[in-house]
Amino acid sequence: MTKEILNKSCCRGKIESSRKIEDNNLCPVCKTSGVKVKNITVRHLIVDTLTELVGDMDYYICMNEECDIVYYNPESGVKFNKQQVKVPIWFKKDANPKFACYCSKVTEEQIINAVIKDGAKTIKDIINITGAMKNAQCQKNNPLGKCCHKIIQEAIDKGLSMK
């Protein structure tokens, strides 16, 4: 009897904490849901003439490759498109060059070449050959404000599958 009661209450806390649904994160143009990006990242990547517009709020980034919008804040209505960001957004259509590591300006193509021509297999190989991830400041340089190692791994996998 006692056992039964214990089982029933065991995961209540978990359900509560996973309930953080954000329904206010839709891109104002394409209506797909975005990913949160910190103010410091947006501030650093928006063209200098528009820095004042950035304010001190956090933003979302639109992950839809077809959409022209990069950063937006649903509450204030402030949004920035591809032309208003200093770097090409690697996952957007026509990004050129396609950076994998923004800090060291290493492109997806360079990583694929390192895999195919120089036999690189791991992130460590890539760091040695291309200089990627050296003096990493991803929070400022990567458009998502996150470490680029996941993108580098994806480029390695792409290169390996082309061999």
* x-marked contacts with Zn ion along 10-29 as a string, rule CB under 5 A: -----------------x-x
* Cβ-based nearer residue to Zn ion, 62 or 120: 62
Question: Which residue's entry shows tokens 């956090």?
Answer: 58
Question: Which residue's entry shows tokens 């492109």?
Answer: 107
Number of residues that bind Zn ion (CB under 5 A): 7
Which of 26, 30, 95, 136 touches Zn ion by CB under 5 A? 30
Residues 104-163 that bind Zn ion (CB under 5 A): none
- Phi then psi for residue 99, to 5 deg, are -75, 140
DSSP letter string, 73-89: -TTT--EEEGGGBSS--
Are 60 and 35 spatial neighbours (Cβ–Cβ below 8 Å)? yes
Q: Which residues pair with 101 in a beta bridge?
A: 106
Here the tokens at position 114 are 């390192």
In the complex, least distance from residue 27 CB atom to Zn ion, rounded to whole angstroms: 3
In the complex, least distance from residue 85 CB atom to Zn ion, rounded to whole angstroms: 13
Regarding 33 and contact with Zn ion (CB under 5 A), the answer is no
* Cβ-based nearer residue to Zn ion, 29 or 123: 29
